[in-house]
Amino acid sequence: MNEEMRKGDLAPGTVIGGKYEILGVSGRGGMSTIYRARDRKVGRICAVKQITDRDRESCERHKMSLLTERELLAGLTNPRIPRITDIVEDEGKDDFFYVVMDFLEGETLQHYLSRTGPQQEEQVVAWAKTLCGILKYLHTPEREREAIIFRDVKPGNIMLRRDGDLALFDFGIAAETEDGSLVNEDVAFTPGYAAPEQMVRGARIDQRTDIYGLGATIFALLSGETPLENENPARIKALVPDIFPGLQEIIERCMAKDPEDRYQSCAELENALAHWTETEADRRRRAGRRLLIFGAVTAGAVISFFAAGASFYTGTRQKMHLYSELITAADAAANDTYDVQGGKYRYDPQVVNRFMEAIDADPAGKDAYEKLLDYCAAAGMPEVGLMRVTANIDAGIVRNDELIFKVARMYFAGVQVPGDGYREAARYFSMVDAVRIPVAAYYRKISAVLGQYNALSAEDWRGVAADTAAFEAYLDSQNRPLMRVNGYMLAGGLYRANEASFADAGTDADAEAIRLYEKALAQAEDFLENADLKGSPPSELAEAEKMKTGALENLGALYLLDTPHRDLVRSEECYVALLAGTTDPEAMKQYRFRLAVVYREIGDDAKVQEWYEYLMEEYSGDPEPFLEYAGYLYSVRRDAEAAAVYFKAAAALPGAESARNYRVLENNLKNAGAL
């Protein structure tokens, strides 16, 4: 979201350093202005920070500090840690310079906290787990780098991204260490968030210093107050009277004055966060009982155990605590399967079992079911989650309209065999109370017709188009923006998946899909643009970002198709926007290669060459960009000799011979006498 322009701001279109085009003002600091910009060479959206200092000497010191920070960040490959990619000086100007960084769209947790007030415990714990993972990554040395102590963990250095994820930034006082600790030579810290040893020159600093900062951050997020210098962490109870004792204990231990009394590593803290609803004493007392309950007793016996009111688990609150704890443990297990580099979850049956333990503890609660569905979908195994959840729905064990509606939508949107999937969707939509969720009636009608997929006539498809139009009109009348966006996305997907059938019925499916996806995109962007004013929770921001990404992906592909609706400029805009909105390496690679196709279709040879040179440099160990460019040179430029040069470069890389177009290109070049 761009801020209003002020006098002295760089105007949109201004180019810095010969390649960074200013798009608008993104934010401001005490001595800096941050611009959203585009790297014209590679099409990447970036942040350009203009830093102004009092004089030349201050400017040089600041610049040297950032060069050191850039060098430290160069060895990091975590998508939750933005990089400094360039430092640009303005010739003849001694009092300011520009820093080019990865662009993160969102706001700091400090800003979010001041805007929305104290946060819920569940949300703070989720954030703490993410931050713990980032710090654990920094504290763990790798072959190419030493361990890093961040030294300045606080809400102001944590970015809450629009997709709901977090990023840690500003490594200005971070330091590398060979043996896991370092001597505090320069006393630099933020009051309230700094551990006592940071205030003493010559004291030893290690990963426990960052654990103190994380504890102070949890304190601030829960209470809405900045911790005092030399804070007594037990004060959190006075500020948050209903705090879970286990979470209070975590804060007090993180913020212990003596590092020996803190958690000794982020791994130890992660384990505590996985059981935040209980104290350590509670966990020790329950350890033996839990082995009995979940090792030797069946799920039915667990339910009987609760019903009988056995001594330790009597009462609604104890049961709720157990259910919450089991969900938290399952969430932690799911997070352990997340591949930071690949940006994906790995499927693990043990994680499914963890969620099932929570379901067994409260078979009528919907949260564990929904989280199980989300995990299985994210891990590429949605059918496993659907099988487990629908078994309990069909048996009448759980009867929750929101949960059943979610199941029905999964069948509707993610069908593999159209008829079967739509029939299942119709069955579950029919279970939903249409008075409580009126949109279910439209879904039920459309999916019931599509359930007879193989027997549908052109007249039937005209009826589906009419029902979809009525569905869209209903969505237009609703004042719930995310429901509208989700509905438009599903309707667009319906047209895309059944293009030929709609064509037989006289409907231009591509045109309808494009119109619906553009509509979804505009409303998702409007929701995100105004989220600050509405105080939207992170979960809604993440959902809106996900749907925005889906709309852009579909539009980029549709505008690239060789149809009357082809718009290569718009396709390029979509993929550039997608690149700007992700840090997932696999997604970035996919969008970059799609942009290469767009430039090929546009026919701009210079741009194609520049882009493939960039791809070959960025993915120098991957034969794909070399083979694609070789294919372009051979088939479009008719230059077999030049194509052979890049083909040989690809052939020298691992996996080249198994690449999709390797053999065809090899034969063509041999026939042309170039090999």
Q: Quick one: three-class SS letters along 12-78?
A: CCCEECCCEEEEEEEEECCCEEEEEEEECCCCEEEEEEEEECCCHHHHHHHHHHHHHHHHHHCCCCC
Asked if the model's pLDDT at residue 312 lies above 50, the reply is no
Instruction: Give the model's confidence band at 420: pLDDT under 50 very low, under 70 low, under 90 confident, else very high.
Output: low
Q: Are residues 149 and 250 in the same domain?
A: yes
Say how far apart CA 62 and CA 647 lie, in whole Å. 46
Residue 543 pLDDT: 84
d(CA 554, CA 547): 11
Please write down the HEC assignment for all residues of 620-652: CCCHHHHHHHHHHHHHCCCCHHHHHHHHHHHHC
| Domain assignment of residue 515, yes or no | no
CA 153 – CA 189 distance, rounded (Å) = 10
pLDDT tens per residue across span 11-53: 899 999 889 999 888 877 656 788 989 888 777 888 998 887 6
**Buried/exposed code over 625-649 (b: 16+ C-beta within 10 A; e: otherwise):** bbbbbbbbbbeeeeebebbbebbeb
At residue 167 the predicted structure's pLDDT band, cuts being 50, 70 and 90, is very high
- pLDDT over 90 percentage in the chain: 40
Residue 325's nearest CA partner among 283, 294, 371 is 283
**Residue 461 domain-assigned (yes or no):** no
Domain membership of residue 635 (yes or no) is yes
Statement: residue 417 has pLDDT above 50? no
Same domain, 620 and 641: yes
Burial of 665 per CB tally in 10 Å (0-12, 13-18, 19+): buried
What pLDDT score was predicted for residue 56? 67
Predicted local distance difference test score (pLDDT) of residue 42: 76
Residue 659 — pLDDT band, cuts 50, 70, 90?
Answer: confident
pLDDT of residue 500: 84
Distances, alpha carbon 20 to alpha carbons 85, 91, 101, 263, in Å = 12, 16, 11, 44
Give the number of domains in the chain: 4
CATH number at residue 20: 3.30.200.20
In this prediction, residue 454 carries a pLDDT of 61
Give the pLDDT of residue 310: 40
79 and 174 assigned to the same domain: no
Choose the most confident range, by mean pLDDT, from 252-266, 302-316, 466-480, 583-597. 252-266
Are 297 and 259 in a shared domain? no
Contact 586, 592 (CB under 8 A): no
* pLDDT at residue 448 in the model: 80
pTM of the model: 0.61
Residues 115 and 153 reside in one and the same domain: yes
Q: What is the largest CA-CA distance in the chain?
A: 85
Tell whether 624 is covered by a domain: yes
Half-sphere exposure of 564 (CA within 13 A, CB side): 5
Confidence grade of residue 412 (pLDDT, cut at 50, 70, 90): confident
Q: Residue 5 domain-assigned?
A: no
Q: Which of 273, 296, 318 is the last residue of a domain?
A: 273
Shared domain check, 187 and 301: no
Co-location of 369 and 312 in the same domain: yes
Q: Answer yes or no: are the C-beta atoms of 421 and 408 closer than 8 Å.
A: no
User: Is the model's pLDDT at 301 over the cut of 60?
Assistant: no
pLDDT given at position 533: 59
Report the C-alpha gap between 386 and 377 in whole angstroms. 9
Lowest mean pLDDT among 58-67, 143-152, 647-656: 58-67
The pLDDT value recorded for residue 68 is: 79
Is 425 within 8 Å of 497 (Cβ atoms)?
no
Average confidence (pLDDT) over 235-255: 93
User: In this predicted model, which residue has the larger pLDDT, 144 or 655?
Assistant: 655
Residues of the chain by 3-state class (helix, strand, coil), percent to 5: 60, 10, 30
Q: Is the pLDDT of residue 311 over 70?
A: no
- What is the 3-state secondary structure of 261-321? HCCCCHHHHHHHHCCCCCCHHHHHHHHHHHHHHHHHCCHHHHHHHHHCCCHHHCCHHHHHH
Q: 475: closest CA among 429, 520, 536, 432?
A: 520
How many alpha carbons lie under 13 Å from residue 622 in its C-beta half-sphere?
Answer: 16
For residue 639, the model assigns a pLDDT of 92
Assigned domain for 354 exists: yes
Residue from 296, 228, 217 nearest 250 by CA: 217
Given a contact cutoff of 8 angstroms between Cβ atoms, the answer to whether 649 and 632 are in contact is: no
Regarding whether 225 and 113 lie in a shared domain, the answer is: yes
Residue 608 lies in a domain: yes
The continuous run of DSSP H or E covering 114 comes out as helix 109-116
Lowest mean pLDDT among 54-58, 188-192, 555-559: 54-58
Total H helices, total E strands in the chain? 28, 15
443-496 residue pLDDT tens: 888 888 777 766 778 888 888 889 889 889 988 988 889 989 988 998 898 888
Q: Is residue 296 over pLDDT 50?
A: no
What pLDDT, on a 0 to 100 scale, did the predictor assign at position 277? Answer: 78
Query: Hey, what are 196's tokens?
Result: 């006592």
Arithmetic mean of pLDDT over the chain: 84
pLDDT of residue 95: 64
Q: Which of 249, 273, 297 corresponds to the end of one domain?
A: 273
> Stretch 90-94: mean pLDDT, rounded?
66
Nearest-CA neighbor of 93 among 17, 168, 156? 17
Residues 184 and 245 occupy one common structural domain = yes
Q: In this structure, are 252 and 321 located in the same domain?
A: no
Statement to judge: residues 116 and 184 lie in one domain = yes
Taking residues 396-414, report their average pLDDT.
Answer: 89
Q: Is residue 434 part of a domain?
A: no
Domain that holds residue 120: 107-273
What is the predicted pLDDT for the residue at 325? 84
Same domain, 144 and 239: yes
Could you tell me the two tokens for 658? 């198994």
Domain boundary residue among 86, 103, 120? 103
User: Which residues pair with residue 28 across a beta bridge?
Assistant: 33
- Give the dihedral sign, CA 406/412/414/418: positive
Residue 118 phi/psi, 5-degree rounding, is -55, 145
pLDDT tens by residue, 625-645: 999 999 999 988 899 999 999
- How far apart (Å, rounded) are the C-alpha atoms in residues 631 and 624? 10
Task: Please say if the pLDDT value at position 383 is more than 90.
Answer: no
